Amino acid sequence: MSVRVTDWVAPDKEPYYLPAGDEISIFQQCHSRGLSVMLKGPTGCGKTRFVEHMAWRLKRPLVTISCHDDLTASDLIGRFLIRHDGTAWQDGPLTRAVREGALCYLDEVVEARQDTMVVLHSLTDHRRFLPIDKTGETITAAPGFQLIVSYNPGYQRMLKDLKPSTRQRFVALDFDFPPAPQEAAILEAEAAADHATAVALVTLGRRLRGLRDRGLAEVPSTRLLIAAAGLVASGISPRQACYSAIVSPLSDDVSLVGAMRDLVDATFV
């Protein structure tokens, strides 16, 4: 199967998530009404953590599917496998989620082929069923099933986008990097960073995000700032932590790397 799937069971401890608005209550209402949800926002801004947090709140299992160009309908629905005693049907991750009443999260959904997206349509309206042509079965979604997709509009709109007919099947929640005080609080909670380091890293992150106009394809995410904060908390110098966890992953362009390193040096004198 050419798809990366993660099965996640809500832990006893609440996954840390700091809300930015009404996204929790809106998601809960969508879940109770059987509405599918689209999460829109830049890479590393907390979309996946939000889904994990909501799975914990709703006490539902979570199936995460990482989408890519080669993702086929069979990867999602399932296929017949050849065994020593004949052939046997194996459910794909989407089918398992539909049967079990799990949350099914398709990460970076626009990376999937358009013909693959069509199989989702019957699950995103009042029908809430999944037809399996190869077996002749039609599965009605179990209570608790919810379809969630995410993508990065800023990056993917340059390459491809969802069809309007598909977009209108979802309730959309817009995500972005948190306000500075909130982002610093996330770094303190997630990486055990001290307050001064967290504030400095958030300040650096905002300065680096200003380089988008100079050709930086992806700006530093909250996820990268957490990684740098974790290195600092473990004893790595702030400058080296930023070089390794923020600057180097973002670009190989000499001029951009130089500009980013200058900002790091100016932040951590």
In CATH, what number is assigned to the domain containing residue 38? 3.40.50.300
221 DSSP 8-state letter? P
**Contact between 49 and 57 (Cβ < 8 Å):** no
Confidence bin at 141 (pLDDT 50/70/90): very high
3 state DSSP class of 65 = strand
**Above 80 in pLDDT, residue 158?**
no
Percentage above 70 pLDDT, the chain: 94
Q: Quick one: tokens of 266?
A: 């100016």
Which of 151, 174, 197 is the last residue before a domain boundary?
174
Specify whether 257 is located in the same domain as 231.
yes
Residues 147 and 23 in one domain: yes
Cβ-proximal residues to 258 (8 Å cutoff; 6+ apart), any chain: none
Query: Based on the domain organization, do 39 and 155 belong to the same domain?
Result: yes
What is the count of structural domains for the chain? 2
Q: Are residues 162 and 185 in the same domain?
A: no
> Does residue 151 sit in the same domain as residue 238?
no
What is the 3-state composition of the chain as percent helix, strand, coil, each rounded to the nearest 5?
50, 20, 35
Give the pLDDT score at 213.
82
Q: Which residue has the higher pLDDT, 12 or 140?
A: 140
Q: Strand, coil or helix: what is 232?
A: helix
Beta partners for residue 65, in sequence order? 5, 106
pLDDT score at 215: 83
Q: Say what the pLDDT of residue 59 is.
A: 93
Same domain, 120 and 244: no
Give tens-digit pLDDT for 22-68.
Answer: 999 999 999 999 999 999 999 899 999 999 999 999 999 999 999 98
Residue 105 pLDDT > 80: yes
End-to-end CA distance of the chain: 50
Q: Is the pLDDT of residue 98 over 50?
A: yes
| pLDDT(157) > 60 | no
Q: Is pLDDT of 216 > 60?
A: yes
Q: Evaluate if residue 103 carries a pLDDT over 90.
A: yes
Same-domain check for residues 27 and 12 = yes
pLDDT top residue among 139 and 212: 139
What does the pLDDT read at residue 1?
Answer: 47
Give the end of a domain, one of 174, 209, 242: 174
Q: Does 235 lie in the same domain as 158?
A: no
Q: At what angle do helices 254-267 and 195-209 cross, to 10 degrees?
A: 150
The 3-class secondary structure across 108-119, one letter per residue, is CHHHCCHHHHHH
Say which residue, 160 or 99, is predicted with more confidence.
99
Final residue of a structural domain among 174, 203, 223? 174
Residues 238/231, Cβ–Cβ less than 8 Å? no
Q: Can you tell me whether residue 140 is helix, strand or coil?
A: strand
What is the average pLDDT score of the chain?
91
Q: How many CB atoms lie within 10 A of CB 237?
A: 11
- Check whether residue 78 and residue 116 sit in a common domain: yes
Please report where in the chains the tokens 């996330």 appear, as a residue.
186
Render 1-52 in DSSP notation, one character per residue.
--SEEEEE---SSPPP----SSHHHHHHHHHHHT--EEEE--TTSSHHHHHH
State whether 100 and 43 are in the same domain.
Answer: yes
Residue 31: predicted pLDDT = 97
Q: Residue 170's domain spans which residues?
A: 4-174
Q: Tokens standing for 65?
A: 């599917």
For residues 169 and 186, membership in a common domain is answered with: no
* Helix or strand run (H / E) with residue 82: strand 78-83
Whether 16 and 147 share a structural domain: yes
Q: What does the alpha-carbon distance between residue 101 and residue 94 come to, in Å, rounded to a whole number?
A: 10
